[in-house]
């Protein structure tokens, strides 16, 4: 018998029986067992096109929208009446775009099928009455798709292309990575259009293979030429060898901007520069003389102007540049017409113009 107040030892707890290993419930066992109904129900059938919401069909139609090759969109619209009704506005826009594009192609002696399969290197669409609206369509459906990456020459001279038209084309020129010649002379291009082209070259990498650029006989002023110079200074048009800017509307300020850009390394491959028919005066020629003396435009071989003063002649002589004086009455754009013969008295320009147009 124990002493008073001494605690007695607690009774031992009964042992816990472990469940057999194969009877331990798993996570799969804890899931609710499928009912008979859910186990036998077939999977839900996908909704048909006709059952899709109209806004979904409209988005699908926009994704298939292509004015040059409309087949996929037309197939979609033919699947049911409901689908066609949902695509009514898309189809109406397609008809309008096709009608306008057909007019452009007809003026270029092309059909839809011929243009869709086009793999040539040259497009000559001069004197085709191409407008700014036409340029928007050409940029969207022809040049900006990447399908003409092989194009090397694009001639759009003697048309009605203004600032809006050139801006639309500029947005698409990235789709022409091999383009070497671009003729835009004898149009209505002004400062805004040339600025858009310069931005595309400097920031979007457009025209990185361009060697010849015809911009003569347009409406480019000092602001436009300054924007062009800034784009070239930013690294655009690094392979350009021939630049025609005759018969525009810029003066000494524009030429100073171009000369300054050249002094900072712009247009390193330029061999021929036409500036005649612009009121650049003595301040303009002095800017050019100083730039040449400082090593600007290191590959320049020919410089065409109305006015050649002693300072500029000396700078040209020191650099081995051939100065060519052209009278205001001479319009270089006339030499760009297919089959045109250079006028008498301009034999100095014959070789440069001939090589640039071929």
pLDDT value at residue 39: 53
Give the pLDDT band (50/70/90) at residue 48: confident
pLDDT value at residue 23: 52
- Mean confidence (pLDDT) of the chain: 84
Residue 311 has pLDDT above 90, yes or no: yes
pLDDT (tens digit, 9 = 90+) per residue, 17-39?
554 555 545 544 545 555 555 55
| Cα 70 from Cα 95, distance rounded (Å) | 10
pLDDT value at residue 18: 53
Percentage of the chain with pLDDT > 90? 68
Of 130-134, 214-218, 326-330, the one with minimum mean pLDDT is 326-330
Give the pLDDT band (50/70/90) at residue 357: very low
| Cα 148 from Cα 165, distance rounded (Å) | 19
**How many other C-beta atoms lie within 10 A of the C-beta of residue 35?**
9
pTM attached to this predicted model: 0.79
Percentage of the chain with pLDDT > 70? 78
pLDDT (tens digit, 9 = 90+) per residue, 166-222?
999 999 999 999 999 999 999 999 999 999 999 999 988 889 999 999 999 999 999
């Amino acid at each position: 018998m124990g002493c008073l107040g001494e605690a007695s030892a607690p009774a031992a707890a009964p042992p816990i029986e472990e469940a057999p290993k194969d009877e331990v419930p798993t996570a799969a066992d804890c899931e609710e067992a499928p009912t008979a109904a859910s186990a036998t129900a077939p999977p839900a059938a996908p909704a048909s096109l006709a059952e899709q919401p109209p806004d979904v069909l409209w988005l699908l139609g926009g994704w298939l929208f292509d004015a040059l090759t409309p087949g996929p969109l037309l197939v979609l619209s033919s699947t049911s009446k409901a689908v066609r009704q949902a695509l009514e506005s898309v189809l109406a826009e397609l008809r309008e775009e096709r009608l306008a594009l057909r007019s452009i192609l007809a003026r270029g002696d092309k059909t839809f099928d011929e243009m869709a399969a086009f793999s040539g290197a040259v497009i000559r669409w001069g004197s085709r009455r191409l407008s700014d609206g036409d340029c928007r369509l050409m940029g969207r459906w022809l040049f900006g798709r990447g399908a003409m990456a092989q194009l090397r020459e694009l001639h759009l001279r003697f048309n009605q292309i203004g600032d809006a038209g050139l801006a639309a084309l500029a947005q698409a020129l990235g789709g022409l990575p091999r383009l070497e010649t671009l003729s835009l002379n004898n149009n209505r291009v002004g400062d805004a259009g040339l600025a858009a082209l310069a931005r595309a070259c400097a920031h979007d990498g457009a025209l990185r293979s361009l060697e010849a650029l015809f911009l003569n006989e347009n409406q480019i002023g000092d602001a436009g030429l300054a924007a062009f110079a800034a784009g070239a200074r930013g690294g655009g048009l690094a392979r350009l060898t021939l630049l025609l800017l005759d018969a525009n509307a810029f003066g000494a300020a524009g030429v100073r901007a171009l000369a300054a850009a050249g002094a900072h390394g712009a247009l390193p491959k330029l061999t021929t520069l036409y500036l005649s028919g612009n009121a650049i005066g003595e301040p303009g020629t002095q800017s050019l003389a100083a730039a040449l003396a400082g090593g600007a435009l290191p590959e320049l071989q020919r410089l065409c102007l109305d006015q050649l003063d002693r300072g500029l002649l000396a700078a040209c002589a020191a650099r081995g540049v051939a100065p060519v004086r052209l009278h205001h009455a001479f319009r270089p754009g006339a030499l760009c017409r297919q089959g045109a013969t250079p006028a008498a008295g301009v034999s100095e320009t014959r070789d440069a113009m001939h090589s640039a147009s071929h």
